[in-house]
DNA sequence: CGAGTCATTCACATCGTCTTCACGGATATG
DNA sequence: CATATCCGTGAAGACGATGTGAATGACTCG
């Protein structure tokens, strides 16, 4: 199996390990806690792009430009929709972890953090 | 290395380190003791502006002019309100540190100092 | 054709943020 | 002590940003 149409892996890195999440770039495969995630092409691209910048805030414009390879149009909510899809699938596999964090006005940040609202009382807000 | 798409950084400096507090200017991300802070655009702008002048007193007029990019109107308390918001969030992450110090009649000074009232009883004030 | 997957777009709901105001304590001045 | 500012703080309203469910059409596979 060759990775014909896919140059430009992150400087020779093929596997990203983010906590219990493993992302095999050349395969297009994401493994969460030992189980393979069922992701579409767009979903995987976005996940990989986020994971490449683990711990850093990435702007919507940059995410879209790199994954869709065309500029994000003003008012386009595509990124938000795909972030939602990723969150759902990640939570299905790893309910006690949060990966995609919103920074209002800036963008999204990818980092594994324990779910907060798991055994906290409702007053903690 | 330069920060390409982001002008206005402090002379090419992208990361400000103030004690255990790290401020990444190009990302809009502040990290306190290893954990990412959740700051709004205004909050981050004010924090960055204060940190740029660490150890020095900065007048409200100057803070507002640089962050809001419009002159501070007479009687406007906005800076005070945002200083409050920053203090709360900083204390949540770093309870034993004080960063923003008031200089009555002059302005605010940003500098990491240990909290005094950490193990003192409530009467000692 | 019929079922399923996917990408895209839309509309509405919800949440976060910005701004402003008011009250009261703190501080300086004489 | 009396007075005038200065500052800390909580809250409310308006607005914008983000979350979310669903509809649509293109496409594939059998």
Bases of chain D below 7 A from a protein C-beta are 6-11, 17-22
Average pLDDT of the residues of chain B: 88
Higher pLDDT, B47 or B121: B47
At A30-82, the pLDDT tens digits run 999 889 999 999 999 999 999 999 999 999 999 999 999 999 999 999 999 99
- What residue of A is the nearest CA neighbor of B24? A56
Contact yes or no for A106 and B36 at CB 8 A = no
Does the structure show a pLDDT above 60 at B34?
Answer: yes
CB of A111 within 8 Å of a chain B CB? The answer is yes
Handedness of CA A109, A113, A118, A123 (dihedral sign): negative
- Interchain CB contact of B4 with A (< 8 Å): no
Q: What is the pLDDT of residue B2?
A: 42
Chain A residues lying within 8 Å of B24, measured CB to CB: 56
Question: What is the predicted pLDDT for the residue at A33?
Answer: 87
Interface of A with B in 37-56 (CB under 8 A): 55-56
pLDDT tens-place string over residues B40-84: 999 999 999 999 999 999 999 999 999 999 999 999 999 999 999
CA distance A51 to B80: 38
Helix, strand, or coil (residue A113): strand
Query: What are B44's two structure tokens?
Result: 């981050």
> Across residues B99-107, what is the average pLDDT?
97
Q: Cβ of A116 under 8 Å from any chain B Cβ?
A: no
pLDDT exceeds cutoff 50 at B125: no
Q: Which residue of B has its CA nearest to A59?
A: B27
Residue with tokens 């596997």: A15
A83 touches strand D (CB under 7 A): yes
Q: What percent of chain A has pLDDT over 90?
A: 78
The answer to whether residue B4 scores a pLDDT higher than 80 is no
Cα separation, A108 vs A50, in Å, equals 8
CA distance A24 to chain B (A): 26
Q: State residue A115's pLDDT score.
A: 85
Set of chain A residues whose Cβ sits within 8 Å of the Cβ of B38: 103
B5 close to B28: Cβ distance less than 8 angstroms: no
- Reply yes or no on whether the pLDDT at A125 is more than 90: no
Q: How far apart are CA B8 and CA B104, in angstroms?
A: 30
């Amino acid at each position: 199996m060759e990775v014909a149409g896919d140059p430009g892996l992150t400087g020779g890195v093929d596997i990203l390990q983010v906590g219990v999440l493993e992302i095999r770039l050349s395969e297009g495969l994401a493994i969460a806690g030992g189980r393979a995630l069922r992701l579409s092409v767009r979903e995987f691209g976005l996940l990989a792009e986020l994971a490449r910048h683990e711990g850093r805030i990435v702007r919507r414009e940059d995410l879209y430009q790199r994954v869709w390879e065309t500029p994000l149009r003003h008012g386009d909510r595509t990124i938000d929709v795909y972030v939602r899809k990723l969150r759902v699938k990640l939570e299905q596999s790893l309910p006690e972890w949060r990966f995609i964090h919103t920074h209002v006005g800036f963008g999204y940040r990818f980092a594994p953090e324990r779910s907060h609202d798991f055994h906290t009382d409702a007053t903690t807000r």
